[in-house]
Amino acid sequence: MTSPISLPAPGTRLAWALTLRCPECGARGLFRHWLRLQPRCGRCALKLDRGNPDHFVGAYLVNLIIAELLFAGGLGVWLLAVWPDVPWDSIEHVAVAAMILSPLVTYPFTRTVWLAADLIFDPPKATDR
């Protein structure tokens, strides 16, 4: 017997997640504020941590990977643009600021993208609502 509810395609889930929408139904308003996720989606009632206290660890990992990739990419572009007269002192100051700010800026996106990835590989169950 097939489910009467059609699940969003993986690409749709990820696109919704990248725009901070619910990867299950596309609703907005998943965050109380930039760093605080609502407990459930207001439209489909999906538990946004899926009822798993370790769910945050996956989002943290995605956040760390994205922050490091942004740092490495930005540093590489900067070095190529100014080589061989590299302003090492400026790079040091900007790098410290970037490593502090980039995880904060990308945090909500990594939470929703991680949720979307989790839903793709482990589709929602009745206990997720």
Residues near Zn ion (CB under 5 A): 22, 24-25, 27, 41, 43-44, 46
The residue among 14 and 67 lying less far from Zn ion, judged by its C-beta, is 14
The residue among 15 and 44 lying less far from Zn ion, judged by its C-beta, is 44
CB 50 within 8 A of CB 120: no
Distances (CA, A) of 61 to 2, 6, 92, 113, 117: 34, 30, 24, 11, 13
CB of 128 to Zn ion, least distance (A): 10
| Element holding 55 (H helix, E strand) | helix 55-82
The residue among 43 and 71 lying less far from Zn ion, judged by its C-beta, is 43
CB 113 within 8 A of CB 62: yes
Instruction: Give the C-alpha separation, 75 to 119, whole Å.
Output: 34
Mutual angle of helices 10-18 and 88-121, in 10-degree steps:
140
The residue among 13 and 67 lying less far from Zn ion, judged by its C-beta, is 13
CB of 81 to Zn ion, least distance (A): 43
